[in-house]
Structure 1
Amino acid sequence: MKHYIYQNEGWPHFTWEHQKINSLLTEVLTAKGFLFGQMSAVGLQPQDTAHLDNITKDIVTSAEIEGEKLNLQEVRSSIARKLGISIADSIPSKRNVDGLVDMMLDALHNYNAPLTDERLFGWHNCLFPTGYSGFFKIDVAMYRKDQKGPMQVVSGPIGMEKVHYVAPPAAEVPADMKDFLDYINNSSENLIIKAAVAHLWFVSIHPFDDGNGRITRAITDMLLTKSDNGSKRFYSMSAQIQKEKKAYYGILEKCQQGSLDITEWMEWFLICLKRALESASSATRIILLKYQFVNQANADLNPRQKKMIGLLFEGFNGKLTSSKWAKINKITQMTANRDITDLLGHGLLIKHGDGRSTHYTLPDKIKTEEEL
């Protein structure tokens, strides 16, 4: 019979090796300081774009971790509407997408508000506005009652399921959540450390019929936003977790069947967060290069030209030809040729080949800088 973390005497008083974890925390804070320093140099418009993109990533990848595939542009459009940001390619969004966005924006924008039962119930209702999870009716905006048996985390086909975790009995959830919320609202713990502890703690309580993983990551983002002093979202923890999904589930399962010494989980969380910050720094470096490149050229570019330079910086798929330029921008070949000729004159594009093999790239100087 498996032994679970909440069955340890002393639950939920977690411990960890402070020297080891504090050393990792210092590395995380250094990476965060470097990223935020980079972002301070790019100006407000790219900061707003990064903010919108990272909230979008958080929502899409958090759902993807649970096996739900969302339309990225639909999510981005919903966020933009709720933030009052105008984007050119906005599309309508479904009710469940708007609910996910409402939950995340509340977590990020109201990071200083107390986390209460009622607030969590509101988030849960946002996730399941119809009262159904897929084809199954669930208890919404209330803690689980285990009417159909113990809450289990399982995988595998029907009849061959593997049980990874059995959550605490429903009767224990209210008391467990009282302790959890008291820690979130009243503990003086470092906020990044608190985010790591809260992540494992909440998902181990598993207080709802469904949606526990997404709410766990919303709580994590709320605490990380608070640690950032409410700055715009320049990195995505959920996106990094999605990249390391197998390891994420593996460390959760191991620690949920272990002792109250959660050093191994804390290490994994902080290293994952550091990678998220470093990944964002790499992306920000390209943004800096792009804006410096355009500004140094002192060119008055039209929206199409800015868009295409952006695509080249992000890594254009295949070779950029004048016909692709026309198709992407929905313009005539003559207009595309004028756009390209203007950029060639400013030294912002380089022409390669002749005739049908003609294509265009960024100057070699920029390629070299990107590779450094």
Structure 2
Amino acid sequence: MKPPYKITDKILMLVASISEKIGEINANHLYKPTTELRKKNQIKTIQSSLEIEGNTLTEEQITALLENKRVIAPAKDILEVQNAIKVYDDLKIFDPKKIKDLQLAHSILMKDLVSSAGKFRTTNVGIVKGSQVEHLAPGGSMIKGLMNDLFIYLKNDNDLILIKSCVFHYEFEFIHPFIDGNGRMGRLWQTLILMQQYPVFEYLPVESLIKQNQQEYYNKLSESDKMGQSTPFIEFMLGIILESLKHVLQSQNINLSTKDRIFLCKEKMGDKKFSRKDYLQNFKNISAPTASRDLKWAVDENILIKSGEQRLTEYQFKE
């Protein structure tokens, strides 16, 4: 059964704006930032997602753990970060449309933190905030069926992936399939779903914006619960995604280095032969002389093989 939600004018407007921003990012080749920026965004993502769940480690401490340095902090917090680093390092091994991969990711994320890591709960749970039960999750006996239905929706429904990823995130939190770790898993899986169509989401620190709007995040989950449909949560998450993309354009719209451009070109061209004109098509904000300098540098560095002369000059990446 398809999860209940409505496509509102706001959702359509946000989807259009997001598509526009993704187009700009692709045109400017910002979908794969430099190694340093990728590392920084990964740290920010891990820190924000875990801080939402009460983890105390700072970005500096997570950086130290990544560099195998000693960190003084609660053992549980360190373990949460170490597990998250493993998951985010291997994101591409998971297929977001497979339940087994979801369970595998949870088993890595929650290793030695809960005894049932990677296994759906069979007991009943309620989410308590303060002295009140905020959300009474479906009974343990229903989990397997509900998760199967959710993955059927994810695989077969024709809605846009932007909308489906938000619906999945909400429904996952509503079902609460694991004893612990549902929040971080729901956010991780939305990222994975989006990555399948839009590579930029692998490096987008959406989590840090959720952290900045944490109370509204919980409010929209609660509002959707009360309405019996995920519409408010979809609107909220699309707004967060749009802001994240705007941030990428503002902070990363800098001149790529020669090396950055050459290696981005390599990803696109593979082993095909190409001309300077083809190269310029990929980097519309550089001049023809800059393109020539880039290509000469790559030939000198033994990255490219050059053949032909003048207008007939072609280039090919070495294997």
- Please, what TM-score do these two structures have when normalized by structure 1? 0.61
Alignment correspondent of 1:221 = 191
Shift of 1:103: 2.2
Shift of 1:17: 2.5
1:205 paired to 2:175:
yes
Q: Is the 8 A contact 1:60 1:72 kept in 2?
A: yes
Which among 84, 92, 97 is matched to residue 100 of structure 1?
Answer: 84
Shift of 1:245: 0.5
Q: Could you say if the C-alpha distance between residues 40 and 259 of structure 1 is closer, same or farther in structure 2, counting changes exceeding 3 Å?
A: closer
Which among 100, 104, 112 is matched to residue 122 of structure 1?
Answer: 104
1:246 paired to 2:229:
no
Letter matched to residue 152 of structure 1? G
Could you list the runs of 5+ residues in structure 2 that have no partner in the other structure? Answer: 72-77, 259-319
Shift of 1:100: 1.1
Shift of 1:255: 0.6
CA distance in 1, matches of 2:197, 2:60: 29
> After the TM superposition, which residues 1-372 of structure 1 pair with which residues of structure 2 at under 5 Å, given as runs?
12-40=2-30, 47-76=34-63, 91=69, 95-106=79-90, 108-110=91-93, 113=95, 115-132=97-114, 138-146=115-123, 150-156=124-130, 161-228=131-198, 230-231=199-200, 233-260=202-229, 262-285=230-253, 288=254
DSSP 3-state at the match of 1:257: helix
Q: Could you say if the C-alpha distance between residues 77 and 195 of structure 1 is closer, same or farther in structure 2, counting changes exceeding 3 Å?
A: farther
Q: Is the 8 A contact 1:73 1:91 kept in 2?
A: no
CA distance in 2, matches of 1:290, 1:194: 33
Shift of 1:37: 3.8
DSSP 3-state at the match of 1:17: coil
CA distance in 1, matches of 2:201, 2:11: 26
Q: Is the 8 A contact 1:152 1:163 kept in 2?
A: yes
Q: Is the 8 A contact 1:176 1:205 kept in 2?
A: yes
Q: Is the 8 A contact 1:54 1:234 kept in 2?
A: yes
Q: Is the 8 A contact 2:2 2:153 kept in 1?
A: no
CA distance in 1, matches of 2:37, 2:246: 15
Could you list the runs of 5+ residues in structure 1 that have no partner in the other structure? Answer: 1-10, 80-88, 133-137, 293-372
CA distance in 1, matches of 2:10, 2:163: 12
Task: Give me the identity figure in percent.
Answer: 22
Shift of 1:168: 0.5
Shift of 1:290: 10
How many matched pairs? 252
Q: Cα deviation per residue 1:230-262 (whole Å; 9 max; x = unaligned)? A: 3474421111100111111111111112123x3
Q: Could you say if the C-alpha distance between residues 76 and 115 of structure 1 is closer, same or farther in structure 2, counting changes exceeding 3 Å?
A: farther
CA distance in 2, matches of 1:214, 1:27: 26
Q: Is the 8 A contact 1:234 1:280 kept in 2?
A: no
Letter matched to residue 93 of structure 2? N
DSSP 3-state at the match of 1:281: helix
Shift of 1:182: 1.6
DSSP 3-state at the match of 2:112: coil
Shift of 1:199: 0.7
Shift of 1:117: 3.3
Aligned-residue RMSD, C-alpha: 2.8
Letter matched to residue 42 of structure 2? I
DSSP 3-state at the match of 1:91: coil
Q: Cα deviation per residue 1:52-111 (whole Å; 9 max; x = unaligned)? A: 2222221111111111123424544666xxxxxxxxx663685442321222334x3236
More displaced 10-residue stretch of structure 1: 199-208 or 117-126:
117-126
DSSP 3-state at the match of 2:134: strand
Shift of 1:267: 1.4
Q: Is the 8 A contact 2:46 2:84 kept in 1?
A: yes
Q: Is the 8 A contact 2:46 2:81 kept in 1?
A: no
